Chains A and B, each alone.
Chain A
Amino acid sequence: MKQKQKVYLRLANGKTFTGYSFGKYGNSDGEVVFTTGMTGYPESLTDPSYSGQILVFTYPLIGNYGIPHFERDDSAKTIQNGFESGRIQVRGMIISNYSFEYSHFDAAGSLHTWLQENDIPGIYGIDTRELTKTLRTTGVMLGKITTELPGSEDTAEIIDPNETDLAGMVGVREPVVYSPKKNKNPKKILLIDCGVKNNIIRNFVNRGAEVIRVPLGYDPMKSEYEFDGIFVSNGPGDPKMCTATIDNLKRSFSLNKPIFGICLGSQILGLSAGADTYKLKFGHRSQNQPCIEVGGHCYITSQNHGYAVDTKTLPQDWQEWFINNNDGTNEGVKHNSKPFFAVQFHPESSPGPNDTGWLFDKFIEML
């Protein structure tokens, strides 16, 4: 039996949960959010949209299949290797049961060791259902992981990550180009990186397109690269923090080139179009969100967002495209006549269902 070290999660509302350490034994803080996805912890932990957050997994058994071989993955391989960026993005991980033993033919090591190597603390032995219910009723809140029992000292000193330029911090600093292997004359996509997931790039490149990944704030109007369409990626934090990008995009409408946004990209596109966004009480972080295409099918989607476009504020020449079947929130917008559209969910999945991968086809066809 391993020596167990107690660690604590202190929430901004004063509630404390006690569990045991895995990964790095140490402190951390951030916005505490929960995901109800049942698979894909390596993908979730490396998803840049979780930057600044402490992630609670409601699924209770974690670590079972270890961590796959960690390789740099910018060549967009056919096999997904299970990572969505070059590093662990969360600030902490909270679970019920950690599986110290793992088993998978593709595993290179344990989750524990991986977290340790990346200086990320984890807590297991937490009543994650109770924690989730707290977050559901109170809304997401700040919290800290501590090795000492938190006393009367509060969580006031934690800086709200949403008030920082999270998206600007997780994206690339300099443009990177990803070319498809077979296509000699590919369509070119200017990808504005707010914290893009690898699988978005894979989805484009595997479909024979070239991706020019540029930093947040990059102005398409002044691009030194030729491109056929603009893609605005997912990413962490409050979309309203991305003022330059919102402005750049608004001006890019005049190019009349197809624009596609995912998640944060959808909110940014909405703001560029003149609509408003707001913060959801506890967000959608799961792999089972039903989204109805207006007048069309319902798709099961993977989601990870805390903000949403306020449909009521959409200007007249824009329309609601997808709606959440559960709570009626906006899941996508599109322009009435121009090739501008975006979805709130993650068609690239990873983790989660692949039902909406056709959106990538749709975008590429338009280029």
Chain B
Amino acid sequence: MNKELEPLVLQKKILTEIKKILLLGSGALKIGEAGEFDYSGSQAIKALKEEGKTVILVNPNIATVQTDIDLADKVYLLPVNPYFVEQIIKKENPEGILLGFGGQTALNCGLELNRLGILKKYNVQVLGTQVDSINKTEDRELFVKELNKIKVRTPISKAVRSVKEGLKAAKEVGYPVILRAGFTLGGLGSGFANNEKEITKALQEAFSYSPQVLIEEDLRGWKEIEYEVVRDSADNCITVCNMENFDPLGVHTGESIVIAPSQTLSNAEYHQLRDISIKTIRHFKIMGECNIQFALNPKSVSETGEFDYRVIEVNARLSRSSALASKVTGYPLAYIAAKLSLGYKLTELENSITKKTYSCFEPALDYVALKIPRWDLAKFPRVEEEIGSKMKSVGEVMAIGRSFPEVLQKAIRMLQVGKFGLVLNTSKTQTIKQDIITPTPRRLFAISRALRDGYTVDEVHNMSSIDKWFLYQIRNIDNFRKLATTKENITADFLLEAKKLGYSDKQIGLLVGTDEDEIRKIRKSLGVLPVFKQIDTLAAEYPAETNYLYSTYHGDTNDVEETKETDKKKIMILGSGPYKIGSSVEFDWCCVTTAKILRKLGYKVVMVNYNPETVSTDYDICDKLYFEELSLERVLDIYEFEKPLGIIISMGGQIPNNLALKLHENNAWILGTSPHSIDKCEDRNKFSSILDRLEIDQPVWQELADLKQAKKFSNQIGYPVLIRPSYVLSGTAMKVCNDDRSLEEYIKEHAQISKDFPVVISKFEEGAKEIEIDGVGQNGELIIYAISEHVENAGVHSGDATLAIPPQKLYFETVHQIKRITKAIVKELKITGPFNIQYLAKENKVKVIECNLRASRSFPFISKATNYNFIDFAVKSILGHDIKGDYKTLDLDHIVVKAPQFSFSRLSGADPILGVEMSSTGEVACFGESMEEAFLKSLLSTGFRLPKQNILLTLGDLEDKIEFLDSARKLNEMGFTIFATTNTHALLKEHKVKSKLVYKINEKKNPNILSMLEKKKFDLVINTQSMKHEHKSMRDGYIMRRKAIDYNIPLINNLKIAVLFVNSIYKYKLEQLEIKSMDEY
């Protein structure tokens, strides 16, 4: 027996004494912490429930699957922070707690609970990896010390606690250096510095997030490799998956294109790093799952004859990478980790795919999987585009196939950013060299373009340090274009070759001068079809019992049998694709819920989705999972192969919705509302004329093809106006323009204006309320609906708005009108299934602004708030069940408030303002007895810290100042110190509200806002910007808001929210917020 290993505990040591377990979730989706934790948490709950444990979940993210009532025994939609968790522990008395399934949020909260002695006080045992081990992996200084003990190399690095120390350390390490802040998620507060000036700025910022910063040697250009490691209580330790970053070190792994398994490592390299992984994880006594990241010198071996490497970090918890690895391999890491935390050994747990073998093995892949991050930087004015050591991406996609070109082109299409693949796209890269040297979301395309334009692989390698193997593969994709032929001369061999390189029918069409449909016909007539293969964890060594499938053209035989005749008990669901701003975990919840209900009703479910962060891509949610593109081509391939009764396209958000008509035209049966109705709703002209015919009011709008007309129309309806391009390409911004000048600016900056590219201008209603109705129709009859109200006035994107249900401030007459209009629209469009309509209400006049014939972002919110599962209604409506009844959704005994989560701290330079473009990355919702209570809980759930003393108040318009007066008085009364700029100060003084004067940044006088922000003198910044003086004050306001974010000072940037906030803290102290689980309401 290996003497280095821990002596084995031979008898089973399952923790039977632990009966009730508290599971910490990760809260709202944010950059660096996204849907992957819904997946890990859900898996953990499943694993624990199988063992008969009582599971108490704390997670305010209402849109997740894990907060469903049928999973955990109790769900607390409350902030994941030490205060609230302690209250829950006090109430529930759990014996055990799991910290590793809710990302950095849960981990940090757990560490804090431990530090404060709360776990000990209530006798709660940490399950899985112990706090001591977590501390050693989280505290960089300890981490390096521990690894030195076992002679594992780490980057040369110095821990510093002040700017001065930092400058000294940087000098010793030698510029350029890397900065790394401890205890943060996704590399927050980390970056590079080339000189003293840069490091001073970076250190100041980093210290606002972390008391300790590391200055490290610059290893940019080294390969970045990760291993997912699992260890059990018997010290059995395995690596489940290794992954290689396409982007060399310097780009955060969450920002990198990642391929699994590694492609450019020799056996010796692979296993040297694997050995170190296992040695390290055993040393840290990790129990459960963790991830280890390496830098590997791509050029030489070290003096000792080993390959030269550094261990970059260890995450002693489930992570984004572990979710990815689970999807890559089919090995359910979170599920296994939860079982291991109860004392099971790997050798005792069944492999859930083969159901014949056990979990103590390392999956063998006979395919490759590629992840590409999805960025939405265009949504953020002023944001720095460069990607580096901080995470900026909001989601990711994963493609599975059997060659690199195949997965690369698939993955690019999956991003849904208007690309047909790597090549043959319409938009062209302008600045090739710059885009290769400095990583941005454009780099991949710049590389392809460069290689086409005559750059050699060596040249591109020298500019980017990307391994030449990847560059050769990219070049091969492009080289195929030289074989372009004419439509008439297409052969099966030509098509197959194209397909093996990942070309879509659309791309092939562009290559030979025809369209996608034509290529599909030719391709089918020549018998060139994809095959569907299984992911089985063992590369076909054992048969697989699950249907986790992908398509490839590198093969001739399907692993599963083609269905011969339409199967009336089989339904296909299209998932929601990548998480991005505006489409997130809510749609995954809708899809998963649909699958659950269909299966309960006896249907077999075929799920199509490709987002590795989701629950819907868990192979036990459905009967067949196609981890595949949501493109017309691929959906038809699967549809024709599976022959289901029909396709549900109304649950996965806009991506499936956009496919409805095209699928219908290709003879696919769409379940629910007719694709023609969907088209009527999506087409602005058609929808508008329907509203006119039904005599339903809408904001005045027009499509305009030149600037002169645009100005004329805008003046005619009166500024402000809302402007947007008629054909919305991804990320193309909408904007509110206040005058001719800003209209001109917008058109110059964002949109061409011509007959081919008209803009749409509509009247922007000021001071109007926004109201949403979510509902389900059946054959044109309204079955059930829920009305929720925005706290902010119209003008804030509905995804960024704070929503309350039931509505608190609506006139009866308004509600009545909304119901009437809704019924008319449901009838006109013959809606069968879910829908969402957005309304503007001002002085009892109601206007329709948008209508979607699909489930909306707020479906999980309204379903959990009203306790009517709207998806259940929608599915049954679609299937033709009789679901008519009397459902009370307006008359609730409680209030639920949904609040947005922003990730501005991640997006250097982005202006943290609210506007017509959505910018939040997630949301939370909490229950309460009153609006104020629910709101305050929600706000705290987004990580908001309550102010202790000093509040900076800078309010834009006079109206804002006046509206806030009463609130300011309350702040005085509560003993807060208000700091205000000249005008606000004067007005407050006039109305006998105490405040201290501070000077605006550009006034350059002291006390100045800027220096006070930098010294962190404020606990809260309340800033509203003036709509009317946009140009003058913009820069000052921007700097102030940005500094607040950069120095981690809470910011409220909307007046309605500011007022509600003050009312809330006026009414409730923290201790007065009730600790109640969802089912107690």
Using a CB–CB cutoff of 8 Å, the interface residues on chain A facing chain B are: 1, 34, 36-40, 42-43, 58-61, 64-65, 68, 78-80, 82, 96-97, 99, 101-106, 127-130, 132-133, 136, 282, 286-290, 292-293, 295-300, 325-327, 349-356, 358
Which of A38, A80, A290, A293 is B361 in contact with, Cβ under 8 Å?
A: A290
Residues of chain B within 8 A of A349, CB atoms compared: 271
Residue of A nearest to B557 (CB): A130
A286 to B1035, CA, bound (A): 62
- B556 interface residue (CB < 8 Å to A): yes
A282 to B261, CA, bound (A): 25
10 closest A-B pairs by beta carbon, nearest first, are A40-B267, A101-B472, A36-B364, A36-B539, A58-B539, A103-B469, A103-B468, A127-B555, A351-B267, A132-B540
Are B555 and A130 touching (Cβ within 8 A)? Answer: yes
A36 to B542, CA, bound (A): 11
Residues of chain A within 8 A of B271, CB atoms compared: 39, 349, 351-354
Are A289 and B361 touching (Cβ within 8 A)? Answer: yes
Most buried by A among B1, B357, B540, B554: B540
Provide a sorted-by-A list of 19 A–B residue pairs whose CB atoms are within 8 angstroms.
A58-B539, A59-B261, A60-B403, A64-B469, A65-B265, A79-B268, A97-B554, A101-B468, A133-B559, A288-B362, A297-B234, A297-B236, A325-B357, A325-B358, A326-B361, A351-B271, A353-B274, A355-B278, A358-B3
List residues 315-367 of chain B with CB under 8 A from any CB of chain A.
Answer: 345-347, 356-358, 360-367
Count class of interface residues, chain B: 35 or more
Least CB distance, A315 to chain B, in whole angstroms: 23
Are A287 and B298 touching (Cβ within 8 A)? Answer: no
Are A82 and B8 touching (Cβ within 8 A)? Answer: no
A105 to B264, CA, bound (A): 10
Are A300 and B402 touching (Cβ within 8 A)? Answer: no
- B467 interface residue (CB < 8 Å to A): yes
Query: Scoring B residues 554 to 573 as 1 if CB is less than 8 Å from chain A, else 0, what string do you get?
Result: 11110100000000000000
A296 to B9, CA, bound (A): 9
Q: In the complex, given contacts A132-B540, A286-B541, what are 10 additional A-B residue pairs having Cβ atoms less than 8 angstroms apart?
A: A36-B364, A36-B541, A60-B367, A127-B554, A288-B361, A292-B347, A298-B236, A298-B345, A298-B347, A325-B347
Are B368 and A325 touching (Cβ within 8 A)? Answer: no
- B305 interface residue (CB < 8 Å to A): yes
Are B366 and A64 touching (Cβ within 8 A)? Answer: no
Residue of A nearest to B356 (CB): A326
Are B472 and A103 touching (Cβ within 8 A)? Answer: yes
A65 to B8, CA, bound (A): 40
- B266 interface residue (CB < 8 Å to A): yes
- B479 interface residue (CB < 8 Å to A): yes
Residues of chain A within 8 A of B540, CB atoms compared: 34, 36, 58, 129, 132-133, 136
Least CB distance, B23 to chain A, in whole angstroms: 28
A65 to B265, CA, bound (A): 7
Residues of chain A within 8 A of B3, CB atoms compared: 358
Residues of chain A within 8 A of B480, CB atoms compared: 1
- B810 interface residue (CB < 8 Å to A): no
Residue of A nearest to B232 (CB): A298
- B300 interface residue (CB < 8 Å to A): yes
- B275 interface residue (CB < 8 Å to A): yes
Residue of A nearest to B368 (CB): A61
List residues 273-307 of chain B with CB under 8 A from any CB of chain A.
Answer: 274-275, 278, 298-301, 305
Residue of B nearest to A65 (CB): B266
Least CB distance, A339 to chain B, in whole angstroms: 15
A325 to B346, CA, bound (A): 10
- B404 interface residue (CB < 8 Å to A): yes
Which of A79, A297, A299, A353 is B8 in contact with, Cβ under 8 Å?
A: A297
Are B8 and A296 touching (Cβ within 8 A)? Answer: yes
Are A80 and B268 touching (Cβ within 8 A)? Answer: yes
Are B483 and A1 touching (Cβ within 8 A)? Answer: yes
Residue of B nearest to A43 (CB): B267
Are A96 and B554 touching (Cβ within 8 A)? Answer: yes
Residues of chain B within 8 A of A128, CB atoms compared: 366
List residues 397-438 of chain B with CB under 8 A from any CB of chain A.
Answer: 402-404
A345 to B538, CA, bound (A): 18
A133 to B538, CA, bound (A): 11
Which of B275, B300, B364, B556 is A130 in contact with, Cβ under 8 Å?
A: B556
Residues of chain A within 8 A of B363, CB atoms compared: 288
Are A37 and B364 touching (Cβ within 8 A)? Answer: yes
Residue of B nearest to A38 (CB): B261
A356 to B365, CA, bound (A): 23
- B238 interface residue (CB < 8 Å to A): yes
Are B367 and A297 touching (Cβ within 8 A)? Answer: no
Are B4 and A59 touching (Cβ within 8 A)? Answer: no
A129-B540, A297-B1 given; A326·B469 CB < 8 A: no
- B270 interface residue (CB < 8 Å to A): yes
- B38 interface residue (CB < 8 Å to A): no
Are B268 and A297 touching (Cβ within 8 A)? Answer: no
